[in-house]
Amino acid sequence: MKTFSTAGPAKPDKHYRIPPLSRWDADEIYRLIAEERYFVLHAPRQTGKTSCLLALMAKLNAEEDYTALYANLEPAQAARGNVEAGMRAIIGGIVRNARRYLGDQRPENWTEEAFRTAGSHGALQELLSRWSEKNDRPIVLLLDEVDSLVGDTLISLLRQIRAGYPDRPDAFPQTVLLCGVRDVRDYRIHNGDHQVITGGSAFNIKSKSLRLGNFSHSNVAALYAQHTEETGQAFEAGVIDYVFEQTNGQPWLVNALANEACFEKGVGRDRRCPITPAIMADARERLIERRDTHLDQLVDKLREPRVHKVISELLSGNVEPGFAPPSEDDQLYVQDLGLIRTRPQVEIANPIYREIIPRALTWVAQTRIPQETTWYVTEDGRIDFPKLLHGFQQFFRENGEIWIERFDYKEAGPQLLMQAFLQRIVNSGGRIDREYGLGRRRTDLLVQWPLETDQGFQGPVQRAVIELKILRKSPEATLAEGLAQTADYMDRVGSEEGYLVIFDRTPDTPWEKKVFVKEEPYGKCRIGVWGM
């Protein structure tokens, strides 16, 4: 039985998959090869890059116009700046795959002579040159995980390829494709002399950078249809739309959600039971809570200074006059990692990442905030939000500065602490949907709380909007803007319960002036307002 691939390249005999080469512009790829171009393919991790390279190798070799070879260079990462060790690992991978995929042992026989005659800084060029001269077809070399290499090893690789470039195709590969998470222009290479060399300067022969995109809506539908065809298990109306909206087509997330829904939970394993939107929503929550390797790798990137600059701006919504935005390189880097998208505007790449990021940044706080769900649940099973917000107001007054100083993302500290407090309360069965981003000047939270535990989210649900704002204008202007935003969000999500929280971060303002509670009418709504 086939499954959904969540680790490594998808295998056609074991996994449902979208034909890898259908995700590229095949005509462009063939044109670049025919014109003897060297180019780059980059995309975030686990989007299908390796599957595409392996499929391209197989197709080119079957057509017999070229000799195509794939090699993964990641094992050479451990060599770091040791060029001798790094080149031996790189060449070892190439000769091993030549034997495996092509049945060609000649590169292995030439390896030691290449090191003797050209040394570690020329052995790769020497080997590829001899192979190209002796081979009866032009060579297309597909190098994966190039940006995993470090320091002088990476510099040597790029410069040896660049040095052999003029000799193509008779005495060097006709095409070399470099593949990784980042574009070669974004390589920042620290050499042994503590100088920084950019990938663009070390590899200025690149003709084009291609980016492997996410699945389209039709790709998601086609992928899930393969499961239905094989097992008979249907996906109810709305599931495909929900998955595409939650993932923005990110391939690993699309596969992981389906795997969670169809293979990991009892009700989904029953092929007579269709996968409903509610089942898929439960799968989403489990995926977020478990934080599998793919999600954990993204969270780990949040510690990098370049990522911090971009994500902190989005979390706080800060576009105030005088605020220094991240550099173009930093923004492109975070986009290459897959954490953000820049069209139609800069924002977190998809709702699942949007949920993961604040949870990950506040996990320690969540585990240590001395609050219990039962303190705020009424006899009829509803959350008493006014009581909850009173509790947070007092907690923030007593502990806010201490906790905010502990956060890596202090710029969004008040919003993050509020979310940690709420997450602590709703972890026993509720959900928080979050909207935030550049220029929003607020964080929109929708808290959903099932009222009948045996039915969960398939039964009646309490839905409350909590709008978070930092006081940046006058109190009157901030209140007026916040009420309009809260009412608008309530209308969009269909909630009759709305609250506005205003954080006053003005230095030296006494707490007696910051702290207040009132209720304000706005249209048909009555909105509770908490200042702190």
Residues 487, 411 share a domain: yes
Contact 144, 53 (CB under 8 A): yes
236 shares its domain with 265: yes
**CATH code where residue 75 lies:** 3.40.50.300
Residue 384: inside a domain: yes
Question: Which residue, of 238, 261, 290, is where some domain finishes?
Answer: 290
The verdict on residue 297 lying in a domain is no
Torsion of CA 380, 381, 385, 390, to 10 degrees: 90
| Residue at which a domain ends, from 211, 239, 271 | 211
186 shares a domain with 241 = no
Residue 308 domain-assigned (yes or no): no
Inform me whether the pLDDT recorded for 201 exceeds 80.
no
Report yes or no on 7 lying in a domain: no
d(CA 366, CA 357): 14
> Mind listing the pLDDT tens digit for each residue in 272-309?
999 999 999 999 989 998 887 788 888 889 999 989 98
| Within a domain: 91 | yes
State the burial class of residue 64 (Cβ atoms within 10 Å of its Cβ: 0-12, 13-18, 19+). Answer: exposed
Res. 383: pLDDT tops 60: yes
The answer on 62 and 115 residing in a single domain is yes
Same domain, residue pair 105 and 133: yes
Q: Are residues 524 and 450 in the same domain?
A: yes
Residues 270 and 412 in one domain: no
Is pLDDT above 90 for 94?
yes
Q: Which domain holds residue 90?
A: 19-211
Q: Where are the alpha helices (DSSP H) in 302-384?
A: 305-316, 328-337, 351-361, 363-368
In a domain, 313, yes or no: no
pLDDT one-digit tens code per residue, 104-157: 999 999 999 999 999 999 999 999 999 999 999 999 999 999 988 988 899 999
Question: What are the tokens at 427?
Answer: 């972890």
Of 211, 239, 263, which closes a domain? Answer: 211
Q: Give the number of other CB atoms < 10 A from CB of residue 80.
A: 15
Is the residue at 95 inside a domain? yes
Residue 186's pLDDT is what? 63
Quote the radius of gyration of the chain (alpha carbons, Å).
27
97 and 245 both lie in a single domain: no
In a domain, 105, yes or no: yes
Is residue 196 domain-shared with residue 239, that is, in the same domain? no
Q: Are residues 228 and 201 in the same domain?
A: no
Q: How many helices (H) and strands (E) does the chain have?
A: 21, 17
The domain tally of the chain equals: 3
